[in-house]
Every structure is written in structure tokens, then in C-alpha cells.
Amino acid sequence: MDAQRALRAALAAIDRGGAGVARSDLLTMRCKTLTTLALTDFLLSGLPAAERRFAQASRVVAELGDDDLGARLAYQRANVHGRAGDLASASDGIEAAVARLSAFTPVERCSVFLSRGMLALETGDPDLALASFHESATIAETNGFLAQAQMSRHNEGFARYLLGDLPGALTTMAEAAEIETDFSNAPPLLDRGRVLLEAGLVSEAVEVLHAGARSVTGVAGDGQDQLRAEFDLELARAEQLHGRRDLAAEAADRARATFARLGATAWAGRASLAGLMAALDQQARHRDAGGARSLGHRTARRADALVRTATSLGDLRLADNARVAAAAALFFAGDLTAAQSRLTARTAPPVSLSDELNVSGVTAAVLAASGEPGKARRLLSRAARRLEAGQRGSASLDVRTARSIHGTWLCSLDLRLALAHGAPAVLATLERWRSATDRLPSLGRPADVELAGLTERLRLTYRRIRAEERPDPELERDAARLQLQIRARDWALSAGAGSASGAPIRIREAREVLADADRDLVWLFAVGDHMWGVGIVRGRATIRQLMPLGRVVELAHRVRADLRVAATQRLGALGPAVWGSLRGDAAELDDALMRPWRLAAAGLVLVTSHEVSALPWALLPSLAGRPLTVARSLTAFARRDAGSTSQPGTGPWNVHVSVGPAVPRAGAEAGAIAATWGDAAVVARPSRARLLVDALATPGVVHVAAHGTHEVQSPLFSSVALHDGPVFAHELQPTGVRADHVVLSACDVGSVSFRPGEEALGLAASVLALGARSVVAAVSPVPDAVAAAAMVAHHRGLVAGRSSDVALAEAIVATDPVAAAFLNLGGRFVP
């Protein structure tokens, strides 16, 4: 408001004229003041007020006949129309400015190309955007304009994201953030939030967007309304991905109301689309309820109106996305012909991976409902390959696992269609989607000094936290800040060091692998409100509907909770009750999930879903004493089993033992394991992080007896504690893991946090994803004495020539039921 008052006062002074000032100079000053005043009027009162100022300025330009002044006016008008969402008018003005760059100073030329790039992003032309931002950055860096250089490079990163180069986007944005300026950090935070959403890092995006929104808090009319509304719009998208539909709808409504008040019609349309998507989510959940047809048609009419608005404004991407929303609403209403017509009316390919997968999902749903399931499944198969391609170029476990959120509902639809075609089709579908993000390990990423330094600081901070008698809040805040910095650096380093993918195994090959190993397969998965399973038993593929999903989740939760109590509490008289409850629930799970298969082979390969992850499977009666491997997929198991170079009796093996502090029996455990393996074994004294990382990067056997921590919120910071501090999952990425068999004799490090798409993160999961053939780890706390006895027995079985799953099954039977918390993960190690 102060700026507006000052500009109005300046305009009044110019209109009064001045002695000795030429009329042409007065008119030039009047035009420049009017164009600047138009921007403040837009920010405070909306587009109509700005247009009145532009009309006045245009009459001045016409009177002067000054082409340079006309180019500057066209540029300012384009900026205002762009912010209001009138992209067609904005494009004309920007190109007029680019055609007459001589009218602008070097710093203004940066702004022209920046604006051109931003407009190209809005109109769905990321190639033009990338070129424009690069030109702006070149001008800025040549002239030492730091603020413009930062903004240009940041936006260049955003254009890379739209072109599908997610690691390049994160890298370029990180480089831009290192340029120190006094420029507001709100716009970069907004863009970073958008990129994190596309990456599937939803929780992280929500944090960034809330931080940005807090930086522009204020009152309506303070000039920050547009930016606040843009943050609300992205939060609406984020909350929808989180599954918090009410919060998504509220954020979308706030954004739409603000954009409408500002006259930003296209932006209001995007907010309306976000609200429509939240409404469609609700319809998807209640599609069988009464009134679904009329609700679907009402939603479709709103989407159709949005198509017309977006088309009139030249926003083709918004128009196409609204058509897809209309098609989805009509699908829920059962009007398949109308839904298909909206999909075929689209004018351009989707810009982002998330948009592309959304189009594929809606189209496949319409095809399937129209009696063309074959076409639908072929389309979904292509979508899975597209999701897999979207992982290329990234060596970050964080990014690779997160992006699968965009394929979750497509996988669910694909499975529903596959159920009608029998076990082979279901197994192929499960493998296809699981393999889309099941990347082969990359060892090509170089070590990074900055990341190593941040990790060492975090390790030291944790040591200080654990040395305190009472938690120090400031140290804990330091640790949280360092985790954020480490993750950001990890994302940036992921570019250019991607990992390869492996083709899913065929059913015939799967049967051969399982037969050679004398193993059956059971793969558990959820569809609708039931747990299902597909098995290969006696070489024959079968499918079964097993148990209501709600009951499975309830029983699994109780088993995990009871096992934790049994392992960590002195039960006394409560012992029989706790163990009775635990065994009863385990028996019910066994009756529903395992016994129907009538397992025949010596052992079992089990692939689980997140509802039944981290269970002590050896407590299920039909699995007691049975060799068991919990694998990520059949392909992942076969790859490890067939790729093994080990043959019985081929030793000696390199055996590394690390021992953490404050574990009373760890020293004796390490000594017994070293004595079991003989001269091949080396116990690291003192055990340090670097030694363990190096040992994991070397073929052989690695044993870690230490306290472990599973970080539920930040699973890549799950760790084992050694003498110089914790070793984190994330720091194994540069060297990868080449160890054949890794034993983590530590509490909880076999636990995982799941992201959508059945993507598991945690220490043991990371060790496997980075290349280990097999891992033994516990999914809950295990008393030191039990862990030591079970793991020593396990190593004795290995030395005797037993495979890792057999050795572990025998060790559990020979010690204590609590030892069932230990699982053999990934594949089999055959010494």
C-alpha cells in the first residue's frame, strides 16, 4: 500500500508538469510510472484495476511512438497477465519483449528470459523453459547478478524436473540454493515442494511447503496473497497424496477463493481442479453408495466448465487435466461412453510422470469397464515400464523408493483385472509392479566430501545425545537439521549415477529356481478388503482368497506388540497370558495364511505386503523349524539364488565381526563366532563405522553385534551403534554392499517403514537393496543372551555347510521362541 501511495503521488506530480522539462520526458516518466502502478494495483485489487493503468500507459506510448517503451510496457503487462493466468496474452507480450531486447538493461534481460521460462512452464513447454532459464543464468553470471543467477538456476532445475530429469532437478536446485543472496526464499521453497511431490517424497514436500507458507504469513491485501494461495494449492495436492482428503479440500478451497479475488482466473481453475481431485478420491472410496451416478455427473460438469475456462485462457495442460478429471467422474457415474469422449478430446501428451500415470489409470479403468480388459492390462503394463524408466538416473534409495507412490492405484487396478485370469497372470502382475522400482545396486556414485562431513557431524551429535543423562532438546534439533541436510545432499548426488533394472522372471524360470532350491513360494497381497495369496507349491501356481484384511491387520499388530512385550519385560506371572495370546494369534494367522497351501518343499520363500511385514514367522506352527526366506519378490530371490558363485565347501570366507559398545554379551558372541570360522574371521577392535562400511563393500560374511535403532520417520537413518557412533543406512550407498551374507545381531534393524507401492526402507532393507545376497536381522527387540546364543548357533550351521535359511531355522528351534524375531531376508547364502 505504501508503494501504491508513493506511485500515485509521483503520477500526480508528473501530471502537474515541471518548468524546463520536455513534454516527451514527462510522457516517458508517466508511462513508466503507470506500468509500475499497474503491478501494485494488480497485487492489491486484481486484474481489472491493473488493466485500467495499462490502457492509460498504452495511450502514452501511442502518442510518443516509442517502440522501446512499448516493449517495456508489453513486458510488464505480460507479467501481470501471466500471474493472473491469461497465458495467451502473456505469451504475446513476452515475445514482443524478446524481439526488442535492446530496450532492456542486462539485469532486465535476465528478467525477460526468466519470465519467458516461467510462462513456458505454465504452457507445458519445458524445452523452451530450460533454454530461457539457461540464457537468463548466463547473462546473470556474466554480469555478477547473484539474485538473478540463483533464481535462473533454480528454475532451470524445475524445468529439468518437468523434462523427467528428477535427479538433475534436485542437483540444480541444490546448486542454486548455495548462491547466497538476500532474495526471498519463499518462491524456491514453493518449487522445491513441487519437485518433492513429483518425486513422491510427500512428507518432505509438506514440511517444505508449510515452511514456505509460514514465510509469507500476513493479511489479505499485503501483496503476498498470490504466493500464499500457490502454497495452499500445492498443499492440497500433497494432502491428497497423503490420503488426507478433508485437508486437501480445505487447502484447495482457500487457494481458489484467493485466486478468484485476485482475478487470477486460471490459477483459480487449478485450485478448482485440486478440489475436484479430492472429490474424486471420495467417490472412488464410495462408488457403490447411493447417489454415485448423480454425484459423478455433477463433478463432471464442474470439470467440463473448467476445460472451457482453461481453453479460453490458453492453458492447455489445465484443460487436459480437467478432461481426465471429467472422465474419472463419468467412470464413477457409469457413463463410459462420455468418459471415453473426454479422454480422446485431450490435446497433448502429459507433461509430468504423475500426470502420465494418472491418464493411464483412468483410461485403463474405462477400458476394463467397457469390456476391453486386454487393452486395459496392456496399457497398465506400459505404465509400469514408464514408472520403471522414471527411476533411471537415480542412485538414491530415498528417491527410488518414493516415486512408486505414483503407481500405487494402477497396480491395484492391474491386480483386480489379473484376478480373473488366474495365478500366472496375478504373479506376473505382482512381479511387474514390484520390479518397476526394484533396482539393481549402483556402485558408480562417487564419495562426496560434503556428505561425508555432514554424516560425521550427525554421528558425533548422536554420540553426544547418548552420553547425556537426559535428552538435550538442542542436540536433538541439531540432529534433525543434519538429517534434512544429508537427505538434500543425497538427492542432489543421485544424478548421473543410476542403477540398472532387471527383467521380471518368467513363471517357467521361477518354477526351475524354486525346484532347484527345494522351496515353495507364497506371495501375500491385499486387494479390496481381503488378503490374497499366490503360491507356487509342488511346481504348480495357485491363487487363494485368504482372510478379511481388517482381521489380518489386527492379528499382525497384536503379534508384534506381544512379541515386543515378551522380549523386553520381566513377565513373571503374566508370562503364560502373554505367550498364550501370542501363540493363539500366531495360530490363527497360520490357519488363514499358511495352512491352505499344504506346503510340500523343504523350505519356503515368502513375499509379504506391508500389512503382514515384520512378523516372527517362525512362531506360526506350520513354519516352526522350516527354512524360510522373506524376499522382496520372486525375481529378487531368483536373482540372488541363481547369481550365487558359492558352492558348498568352497571357503575359506572372509569374515568380519563388528562389536558395538554397551552390549554385555557382544564380546563373547564375537569371540565365539571368530572361533567358529577360525583364521578367516577378524574382529574389529575397536569397531568403527569406516571399517564396517568397507567390510560390507567386500565379498564374504559380515556380523554386527550392537545396539540397533529403526527410525520410523527417517528410515534411511536407521543404524547400528559402534564405538565411534552409529552407522547409518544411507552411508552405504556410495560403495554399495557386496557382502554375501550379513548378520545384524541388533534389535529392530530388520524392521521397515513402508512407502506406498510396498517400498520398504530401513537398515536391513537398505543393505539388501544395495547388493547383499542375504541378511539375517531381527524385526523386534531380542534379549542379548538370546541373540548371542541364536547367532552363534546360526554361524555354526553355516560353517557346517547349511544354507542361511536352514541354519537360522535350526538356531531358532535350539534357543528361545523370542529368537523367532530373526528372519533370513533376500536370498539364501550357501557357504
SS3 assignment for 175-233: HHHCCCCCCCCHHHHHHHHHHHHHHCCHHHHHHHHHHHHHHCCCCCCCCCHHHHHHHHH
Pairing of strands 655-659, 701-705: parallel
% of the chain residues with pLDDT over 70: 86
| DSSP calls for 683-699 | EESS--HHHHHHHHTSS
* Grid cell locating 183: 532474495
Q: What CA–CA distances, in Å, run from 414 to 377, 381, 421, 525?
A: 6, 8, 11, 13
* Per-residue 3-state assignment (H helix, E strand, C coil) for 482-494: HHHHHHHHHHHHC
Peptide bond into 686 cis (omega under 30): yes
Give residue 292's pLDDT.
58
Q: Is the pLDDT of residue 448 over 80?
A: no
For 13-32, the pLDDT digits (tens) are: 777 766 666 777 777 788 77
* Grid cell locating 115: 519470465
Give residue 745's pLDDT.
85
- The CA dihedral of 605, 609, 613, 615, to the nearest 10 degrees, is -60
Q: What CA–CA distances, in Å, run from 513 to 268, 491, 520, 522, 608?
A: 56, 36, 10, 14, 19
* Grid cell locating 348: 497433448
Give the Cβ contact number of residue 560 at 10 Å: 21
Kindly tell me the burial class for residue 665, based on how many C-beta atoms sit within 10 Å of its own C-beta (0-12, 13-18, 19 or more): middle
For 452-469, the pLDDT digits (tens) are: 888 888 888 888 887 777
Phi, psi of 782 (to 5 degrees): -135, 130
Alpha carbon distance 424, 415 (integer Å): 12
Alpha carbon distance 50, 509 (integer Å): 69
Alpha carbon distance 768, 562 (integer Å): 28
Distance of CA 830 to the CA centre of its chain: 35
* Grid cell locating 638: 531368483
3-state secondary structure of 61: helix
Helix (H) or strand (E) holding 365: helix 353-369
Q: Which residues pair with 430 in a beta bridge?
A: none
Q: What CA–CA distances, in Å, run from 584 to 8, 589, 619, 809?
A: 81, 9, 10, 21
Rounded to an integer, the average pLDDT of 358-383 is: 88
Confidence of residue 739 (pLDDT cuts 50, 70, 90): very high
Alpha carbon distance 322, 328 (integer Å): 10
Q: Alpha helices, DSSP H only, in 712-783? A: 763-769
* Grid cell locating 395: 542412485
Give residue 759's pLDDT.
43
Q: What is the CA radius of gyration of the chain?
A: 31
Rounded to an integer, the average pLDDT of 697-720 is: 80
Give residue 16's pLDDT.
72
Packing angle, helices 87-98 and 106-122, rounded to 10: 150
Pairing of strands 655-659, 681-684: parallel
- 340-349, 493-502, 600-609, 774-783, range with the lowest pLDDT: 493-502
Q: Please provide the average confidence, as pLDDT, over all residues in the chain.
A: 82
Alpha carbon distance 766, 647 (integer Å): 26
Alpha carbon distance 335, 345 (integer Å): 16
Q: Is the pLDDT of residue 400 over 70?
A: no
**548 near 569, Cβ under 8 Å?**
no
Length of the chain: 831
- Of 431 and 401, which is predicted with more confidence? 431
- Of 30 and 389, which is predicted with more confidence? 30
For 178-230, the pLDDT digits (tens) are: 787 776 778 888 888 887 777 667 777 888 888 888 888 766 666 788 888 99
**163 near 124, Cβ under 8 Å?**
no
**129 near 172, Cβ under 8 Å?**
no
Q: Which residues contact 346 (CB under 8 A, 6 or more apart)?
A: 320, 323, 324, 359
Kindly tell me the burial class for residue 210, based on how many C-beta atoms sit within 10 Å of its own C-beta (0-12, 13-18, 19 or more): middle
Distance of CA 481 to the CA centre of its chain: 20
Q: Is the pLDDT of residue 758 over 70?
A: no
Give residue 395's pLDDT.
44
Alpha carbon distance 379, 95 (integer Å): 39
Q: Is the pLDDT of residue 761 over 50?
A: yes
Q: What CA–CA distances, in Å, run from 396 to 438, 498, 754?
A: 12, 8, 16
Give residue 713's pLDDT.
57
- The CA dihedral of 782, 785, 789, 791, to the nearest 10 degrees, is 40
Q: What CA–CA distances, in Å, run from 679 to 366, 652, 673, 829, 830?
A: 65, 9, 11, 20, 19
Q: 511: closest CA among 594, 423, 593?
A: 423
Q: What angle do CA 492, 403, 638 make, to 5 degrees?
A: 105
For 500-538, the pLDDT digits (tens) are: 445 566 777 878 889 999 999 999 999 888 999 999 998
- The CA dihedral of 562, 565, 567, 568, to the nearest 10 degrees, is 170
Unique residue bearing C-alpha cell 464410495 = 286
Kindly tell me the burial class for residue 26, based on how many C-beta atoms sit within 10 Å of its own C-beta (0-12, 13-18, 19 or more): middle
Q: Is the pLDDT of residue 618 over 90?
A: yes
- Of 368 and 411, which is predicted with more confidence? 368
3-state secondary structure of 281: helix
For 263-300, the pLDDT digits (tens) are: 888 788 888 888 887 777 766 655 544 455 677 788 88
- Of 597 and 352, which is predicted with more confidence? 597
- Of 82 and 318, which is predicted with more confidence? 318
Q: Is the pLDDT of residue 597 over 90?
A: yes
Q: Is the pLDDT of residue 494 over 70?
A: no
